[in-house]
Structure 1
């Protein structure tokens, strides 16, 4: 089975804490009635000095998480 990447939305927006960007991710999708719900909310995954590095890490982590469960 191939992962349908349009079925899920990944929000890898990091949070700023203690001088670094904390990578974390929100994965969501829609129910058949169109309402949105969260499939997974991660905790802090790792800390980075550069915001873009935190985003890239969270995005990759989420894709791997989805593939492991729905792939």
Structure 2
């Protein structure tokens, strides 16, 4: 479940805690040697009852974060 652009990868996979899905995002890029390099780890963003809602929220949050920094 990764959003891929030419420069960045967004991993919006939620974690499960206390009966809900916790949205968070890992934004990474690839180094010169091809290895993954984290750009930003969001931390917990919000809790959701439905997994797909957590994924959509994290994707949107990450895309806005990237737009604000890399336009």
TM-score where L is the length of structure 1: 0.90
**1:31 has 2:31 as partner:** yes
Q: What does residue 48 of structure 2 align with?
A: 48
* 1:35 CA displacement: 1.8
**1:1-71 maps to which residues of 2 (within 5 A)?**
5-71=5-71
Moved beyond 6 Å, runs of 4+: none
* 1:69 CA displacement: 0.4
Unaligned runs of 5+ in 2: none
Size of the alignment, in residue pairs?
Answer: 67
Which one scores higher on RCO, CA 8 angstroms, separation ≥ 6? 1
Unaligned runs of 5+ in 1: none
TM-score where L is the length of structure 2: 0.90
Task: Give secondary structure in 1 for the equivalent of 2:65.
Answer: helix
The structure with the largest alpha-carbon Rg is: 1
Which region of structure 1 is more displaced relative to structure 2, 16-25 or 26-35? 26-35
